[in-house]
Structure formats: structure tokens, C-alpha cells
């Protein structure tokens, strides 16, 4: 099992931008970019568990983030962006069967969401 942990962060005044990824299985590619205006994150081909957190804290200390969790199966594409105004995500999953005997799939383990605090 390959374990990959990657994180970037940058601060600009009172605003913080960050792109964090915690991948506990194989990954084909992972791209993270942070500048003073926005944070971006994208990946291809993650197998197994992973979390991707791309967020910002605006001058009013409000958090805006795009959050993707891969609990089982594969993710074949994922893009996230966050800036001081909004967050965006686009994710595509290929599910692996929970049981090879019953051929049942669990589609509730993988999630993507926008969170505002």
C-alpha cells in the first residue's frame, strides 16, 4: 500500500488559502496550486481512500471550502477551487463493489460538497 500525504498553505493578510490531500492508496497524479488569490487542486486515478480539502478564510474569518472524500473505489477525475468569495468542485467516481459475491455497490461512501462556516 502506498501512502501519500501532501499539503500546501499560503497566507495573505488575514486571508488563508490552502489545498490539502491525504491519500492512503495509489494515485496516478495530483496537482496543487496556491497563490494569493486562490487555491486549486486536481487529481486523476486515486484508488482507495482519500480526502481532498481546498479552502479559504476571507477577511471576515468566514471559511469556504470544497471537500471531497473517497471512501471506497476509484476516483477518475477531481477538480476543486477556492477563493475568498466561493468554492467549486467537479468529481467523477468509478465505484468498486462492496461485495463481489452479491455485486452490491455502496455509493454513499464517496462524497463531494461545498462547506461554508
pLDDT tens by residue, 10-41: 666 667 898 988 887 778 888 999 888 899 99
Q: Is the pLDDT of residue 4 over 80?
A: no
Q: Is the pLDDT of residue 83 over 70?
A: yes
Number of domains in the chain: 1
SS3 assignment for 60-89: CCCEEEEEEEECCCEEEEEEEEEECCCEEE
> What confidence tens digit (pLDDT) does each residue in 98-112 have?
555 555 656 567 888
Task: Give the global pTM.
Answer: 0.79
Q: Which range, 3-7, 66-70, 91-95, has the best average confidence (pLDDT)? A: 66-70
> What confidence tens digit (pLDDT) does each residue in 26-81 have?
788 889 998 888 999 999 888 777 889 999 988 888 899 999 988 766 788 999 99
Range of the domain at 34: 4-116
Burial class (CB in 10 A: 0-12, 13-18, 19+), 98: middle
Amino acid at each position: 500500500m502506498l501512502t501519500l500525504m501532501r499539503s500546501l498553505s499560503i497566507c495573505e493578510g488575514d486571508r488563508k488559502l490552502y489545498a490539502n490531500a491525504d491519500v492512503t492508496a495509489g494515485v496516478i497524479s495530483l496537482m496543487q496550486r496556491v497563490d494569493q488569490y486562490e487555491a486549486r487542486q486536481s487529481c486523476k486515478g486515486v484508488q482507495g481512500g482519500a480526502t481532498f480539502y481546498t479552502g479559504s478564510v476571507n477577511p471576515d474569518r468566514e471559511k469556504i471550502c470544497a471537500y471531497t472524500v473517497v471512501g471506497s473505489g476509484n476516483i477518475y477525475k477531481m477538480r476543486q477551487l477556492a477563493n475568498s468569495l466561493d468554492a467549486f468542485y467537479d468529481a467523477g467516481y468509478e465505484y468498486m463493489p462492496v461485495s463481489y459475491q452479491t455485486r452490491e455497490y455502496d455509493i454513499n461512501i464517496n462524497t463531494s460538497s461545498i462547506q461554508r462556516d
